[in-house]
Amino acid sequence: MKTVLALAFSILTITGSYAQSPNADDQLLFAPDQPAPPEQPCITLSNKKILCGKADDSGSQLLSVFKGVQYGQAARWQPSSVFDEYEPNGYEALQYGARCPQPIWNPKDQLRGEEDCLYMNIWAPAGAIKNLSKLPVMVFFHGGGFMAGGADKAYHAADGEIIELYTGKSFSADQNIVLVTVNFRLGILGTLATDGITGQEPSNGGNYGFQDQQTALKWVQKHITSFGGDPDQVTIFGVSSGAMAVGLHMFSADSSKDLFRAGIMQSSAASYKYRNKEEGRDLFYFYLKCLRAAIRNPESDECALTAQLDDLEKATTRQILLAQALLQDHLFKKGVFLSALPGSIAFSPIIDGSFLKEQPNVQMEKGNEKPLMLGFNKDEGVLFANFIDATGNLNAVTFNGILGRDYENPMLIVGREGYGAQTPAAHGLQPKTPATALANLIGNSVFACPTMSANIEREKPTNNTWLYFFAQTSVENMEKPPTNPKVNNVCGPQNQWGNACHASELPFVFNNMPPNSTEEDKALAVKMNALWAQFAKTPEAGPSKDWKLWTWPKIGNPSNFNVLQGADSDANFEDLFEQSDCAFWLGEIIEKNANAILIPKQLPQE
């Protein structure tokens, strides 16, 4: 019913599986000569409330794990506040809390997630809790295009095994890190700019999901000492839209400054330009029309001509999500929703001038005060191209349609000319097959070139930024395959494995590889997990010197930068810059046009 392409591009990391916790009623029987299981860990928070978790003795040291800890509370489309008033007899944090509502595309789609979803998960060494050791803390924000995902994501190994991904077992047991993962509001429920419209005055510009992250960080500041963590040693990190959120905390939100000391951005769209307050308000009014239509008729394919403000509160979660799908589909059909390019994610944070003061890429050019590590993967665009080509019908005509032939944005014009499938070469670029052209366009323009250029021509050069390039071929399928018989792995077309796709570094970062992984993959995962942890421990000094992560290389004077690959690699910054067509994307064309907002202030009329 809804456009497949809208789904493909808006969700940077498709929903993972829920992890199932053991049934509390199940009783395990132990033989007399077997050791008894470790005692359930319970801690007392700073407000004297008791929190109980689960012991994990399967790693290199005993861990205490707390899943589904409620950290915040919020009414619909209102800012969240810290929640820590747990029941007097204790709060059992034994299983993941509900995800925030996930996208649905048809009235019959299963509703996944709940609006009551502000939960976090914590892994900590049991000894650190006992000794109040003040270990470094890492807080992870998941990806999903600000629209989908959760802190309980799983992934698919090559043999089909489903493996929990965002687990802190290795970070805590092997690296002595307190690891926190967080749920936060998503989609229209996390980004609707209601300020000054509904009679209520949120102080966050409608950035509810982003502000939830702040609430989680405030909870960490208040209580992480009880878990053996140090509130003064918090590093935030994330992937995809989670990495973009890290950039917003670092460069746009003054109110986040005292909540962390360093950041890691994995595969961020570093040049992305967010909507301003006026553009967010325009989107709000149009969404109201879509919500009116969804309430009247769940089967509706078009937004209504009129709107009712009170629909915001009386609508069900399902109606809200159906209206979200209507809006997204409408924007795509009108040629103004093109999330292959910067500036067009449907439901992203809003630069309101107060809560989020300015575009993060603008502030990044001025220099970052806090230590930052960021990087990208070799084949970022392949996953997106494969989802778009889920039907196997991508050709030159549909390729140009994806780039909005009817929407004459200058960047889209040069994109079609430079990357146009089966067309004469333009701007010094060579034509490629449609799928390859699309994968290259997305990977180069959205991820590789903006990341490599993030620190070029800074007003105040700094030496506390490190770059990595992840090139290890993947044996993991981060997403379920699309319904295309030619593609059983979205990280490699035509049944081919062997790309380093968007998000494929995650099992290496969390050191949570499939049991049948190669020794090379396992060794790289151990090193990358240690590398991320070392940065959290000594962010001013950077990651381990053994890995030779240097200050950001400048164009014209490139130095070595870190290539994360199991085998020796001859990749270097200068060649990578050229192979990614960065002279094209970072030239005059992109400076003038790449940050153009593709959703105009006046949305198309009915």
Which residues form the catalytic set? 240
For residues 331-351, b (16+ Cβ closer than 10 Å) or e, as one string? bbebbbbbbbbbbbbbbbbbb
Distances (CA, A) of 503 to 210, 490, 513, 516: 21, 12, 14, 20
Contact 571, 469 (CB under 8 A): yes
Distances (CA, A) of 455 to 135, 270, 370, 444, 580: 30, 11, 14, 17, 17
Contact 568, 295 (CB under 8 A): no
Sign of CA dihedral 345, 349, 353, 357: negative
Secondary structure (DSSP) of 125-150:
EHHHHHHT--EEEEEEE--STTTS--
Computed over its alpha carbons, how large is the radius of gyration of the chain?
23
38 secondary structure, DSSP code: P
Residues 6+ positions from 544 with CB-CB distance below 8 Å: 530, 531, 534
Integer Cα distance of 499 and 481 in angstroms: 15
446 secondary structure, DSSP code: I
Q: Is 320 helix (H, G, I), strand (E, B) or coil?
A: helix
Contact 84, 45 (CB under 8 A): yes
In the sheet where 54-56 sits, what is the strand order? 54-56, 63-70, 119-125, 178-182, 135-141, 229-239, 262-266, 372-377, 465-470, 562-564
546 secondary structure, DSSP code: G
Which helix (H) or strand (E) segment holds residue 236: the answer is strand 229-239
The most distant pair of C-alpha atoms in the chain lies apart, rounded to whole Å, by 77
Backbone dihedral angles phi then psi of residue 46, each to the nearest 5 degrees: -65, -20
- Burial level of 224, CB count in 10 A (0-12/13-18/19+)? buried
Q: What residue has token string 């979803």?
A: 117
Strands 81-82 and 91-92, how do they pair?
unpaired
Q: What residue has token string 């829920």?
A: 18
Integer Cα distance of 435 and 515 in angstroms: 32
Q: Which residues pair with 119 in a beta bridge?
A: 70
Integer Cα distance of 259 and 218 in angstroms: 7
Q: Provide the strand spans (E) within 83-188.
A: 91-92, 119-125, 135-141, 154-157, 162-164, 178-182
